[in-house]
């Protein structure tokens, strides 16, 4: 029995657990495998980026910028946060035409943004391709180490008294009318029943989709995806020092601390039903690598060190998450469908989700993410 039961030990579940436990509340977190075994773990680093983000998420990113700078002190643990600055590269005149409007809008929302000419860009990034004519620059963007941060976050939650259970898979839900009263689970291979005193927070990523369908008969407009990430072999001299995105290429580049270049941006792997894991596809790996070479020709002869597509993410049909109580379960807050960019805003959203379950008042900044926008 716990007052607040959290399903899923990724960054969202752990952040909500930390905020609730800090208030002295009775919190239990159930994680099916191990902490950070889902989208909040794995190769390299995650982008902490406001540049190019959906308008509705920009106020959350503005809030998260401040939180990231002090998070390691707040949770007394490492996050690997580095403020590198993000450059959205522009090669085509038609993309340059819309750039001033994007720069204006992002500045309005508290995301410091500048439009750089080709010459200004080359002062920051001398090795960028000659085809790049301009860039949208956000100096406050950066990266953090997702696996490390999630571990630090769960440690902080535990320090404040949250009960964290790994190898604890939630399998069922009990309710009394519209109220969830208990969860069924398998903990260390044994059947278990957890009574819910007050609220459930469902942050189990792809699992949430089938769970909601089964117990609330609601089909969320989201789908599972296996984003591909890869690291090239270490280079003596790194060709870039910023976090890189691109206006028309499917591309994200991160310079890692171990002198490897990490490449991603939206290429996908596929599910292997025999191994029960996601795997990369050779044409996707090569396609992603070629996009990186087009932006940074110095990457041409650098072999791929490792590539993965083993962490599933739920993508929402309109590209922003669903953070809401759903019909039929008025004490279960769902956070799902982060659409490949949930990491950066997690300090802000996790804090606001915790406030919502404690006060039962919906925070204004979370209103754009309600389920009702689809119905």
Ligand X SMILES: Cc1cc2nc3c(=O)[nH]c(=O)nc-3n(C[C@H](O)[C@H](O)[C@H](O)COP(=O)(O)OP(=O)(O)OC[C@H]3O[C@@H](n4cnc5c(N)ncnc54)[C@H](O)[C@@H]3O)c2cc1C
Q: Which residues bind ligand X (CB under 6 A)?
A: 7-13, 30-33, 37-40, 46-47, 146, 169-170, 203-205, 207, 227, 229, 264, 311, 313, 338, 340-344
Shortest CB 175 distance to ligand X, Å: 17
Instruction: Identify which of residues 12 and 296 has a Cβ nearer to ligand X in the complex.
Output: 12
Nearer to ligand X, 123 or 251 (CB): 251
Closer of 33 and 300 to ligand X (Cβ): 33
Q: Burial, 338: exposed, middle or buried (Cβ in 10 Å; 0-12, 13-18, 19+)?
A: buried
User: Minimal distance in Å, beta carbon 151 to ligand X?
Assistant: 12
Which whole-number Å values give the CA distances from 225 to 38, 271, 288, in the listed order? Answer: 12, 9, 16
List all residues 6 or more positions away from 310 whose beta carbon is below 8 Å from its beta carbon.
Answer: 42, 226, 269, 277, 278, 279
In the complex with ligand X, which residue's Cβ is closer, 133 or 218?
A: 218
Residue number, 113 or 126, with CB nearest to ligand X = 113
- Write the DSSP symbol of residue 191: E
Closest CA to 6 of 270, 136, 185, 265: 185
R_g of the chain, CA atoms, integer Å: 21
- 280 burial type by CB count under 10 A (0-12 exposed, 13-18 middle, 19+ buried): buried
**246 in Cβ contact with 290 (< 8 Å):** no
Residue 270 C-beta: closest distance to ligand X, Å: 14
Which residue number is nearest to ligand X in terms of Cβ? Answer: 10
Shortest distance (Å) from residue 160 CB to ligand X: 19
Instruction: Tell me which H or E stretch contains 347.
Output: helix 346-359
Report the residue number, 1 or 97, with the smaller CB distance to ligand X. Answer: 1
**Among 73, 144, 62, 143, which residue's Cα sits nearest to residue 106?**
62
Q: Are strands 27-30 and 2-7 parallel, antiparallel or unpaired?
A: parallel
CB of 342 to ligand X, least distance (A): 3
d(CA 293, CA 260): 14
Q: Which is nearer to ligand X, 9 or 347 (CB)?
A: 9
Tell me the closest approach of the beta carbon of residue 130 to ligand X, in angstroms. Answer: 27
Q: Which is nearer to ligand X, 19 or 146 (CB)?
A: 146
Cα distance between residue 13 and residue 303, in whole Å: 37
The nearest distance, CB 349 to ligand X, in angstroms, is 10
**Least spacing, CB of residue 307 vs ligand X, in Å:** 11
């Amino acid at each position: 029995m716990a007052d607040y039961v959290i399903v899923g030990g990724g960054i969202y579940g752990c952040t909500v657990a930390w905020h609730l436990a800090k208030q002295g509340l009775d919190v239990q977190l159930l994680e099916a495998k191990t902490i950070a075994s889902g989208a909040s773990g794995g190769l390299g680093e995650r982008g902490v980026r406001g540049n190019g983000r959906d308008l509705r998420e920009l106020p959350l990113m503005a809030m998260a910028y401040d939180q990231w700078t002090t998070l390691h002190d707040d949770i007394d643990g490492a996050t690997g946060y580095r403020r590198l600055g993000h450059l959205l590269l522009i090669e085509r005149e038609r993309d340059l035409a819309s750039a001033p409007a994007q720069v204006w809008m992002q500045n309005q929302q508290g995301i410091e943004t500048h439009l750089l000419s080709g010459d200004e860009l080359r002062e920051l990034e001398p090795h960028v391709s000659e085809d790049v004519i301009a860039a949208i620059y956000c100096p406050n963007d950066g990266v953090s180490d997702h696996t490390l941060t999630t571990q630090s976050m769960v440690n902080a939650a535990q320090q404040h008294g949250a009960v964290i259970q790994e190898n604890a898979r939630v399998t069922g839900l009990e309710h009394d009318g519209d109220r969830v009263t208990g969860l069924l689970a398998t903990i260390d291979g044994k059947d278990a029943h957890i009574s819910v005193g007050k609220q459930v927070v469902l942050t189990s990523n792809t699992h949430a989709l089938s769970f909601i369908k089964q117990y609330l008969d609601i089909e969320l407009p989201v789908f599972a995806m296996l984003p591909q990430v890869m690291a090239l072999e270490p280079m003596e001299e790194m060709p870039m020092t910023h976090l890189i995105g691109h206006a028309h290429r499917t591309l994200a580049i991160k310079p890692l601390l171990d002198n490897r270049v990490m490449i991603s941006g939206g290429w996908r792997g596929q599910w292997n039903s025999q191994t029960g894991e996601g795997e990369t596809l050779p044409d996707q790996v090569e396609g992603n690598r070629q996009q990186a070479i087009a932006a940074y020709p110095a990457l041409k002869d650098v072999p791929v060190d490792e590539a993965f597509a083993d962490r599933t993410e739920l993508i929402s049909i309109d590209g922003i998450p669903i953070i809401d109580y759903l019909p039929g379960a008025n004490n279960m807050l769902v956070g799902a469908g982060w659409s490949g960019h949930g990491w950066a805003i997690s300090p802000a959203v996790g804090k606001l989700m915790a406030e919502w379950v404690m006060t039962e008042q919906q925070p204004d900044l979370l209103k754009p993410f309600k389920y009702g926008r689809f119905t």
